[in-house]
Amino acid sequence: MTDHPGTFKGDTVPSGEQAWDDRAVIVPAAQDARLSGGGVPLLRSTFAEMIRHIAQLPEGDRQGYVIQKAGDRTYGADEAMALASTPDFPSQDSG
């Protein structure tokens, strides 16, 4: 079950799990606030794939990007790296 807001009361499902297959984009951190106004994402894929991409960047470059998860919020590089190390993070070849 995913943590999407429902239409009843607008609350998230209290599953405590990340929705790794949700759609997500990577944008430059400086563009983050402008994306809803017509900005262009650099990459689109699942949330898990976007985390993997951030994790593969050189450490000094990571802070220049953020992940915007569909129906959720923006995740900075530090949050992405923390999520990549959680036990439930899907392996590269899963799914």
Is 67 part of a structural domain of the chain?
yes
Is 62 part of a structural domain of the chain?
yes
Is 58 part of a structural domain of the chain?
yes
CB 54 within 8 A of CB 42: no
Is 55 part of a structural domain of the chain?
yes
Our count of domains for the chain comes to 1
CA distance 25 to 53: 11
Q: Quote the pTM value.
A: 0.74
- 32-71 pLDDT, tens digit per residue, is 665 554 567 889 999 999 999 999 999 999 999 999 998 7
DSSP state of 14: T
The answer on pLDDT for 27 being more than 70 is yes
Is 11 part of a structural domain of the chain?
no
Range of the domain at 44: 23-84
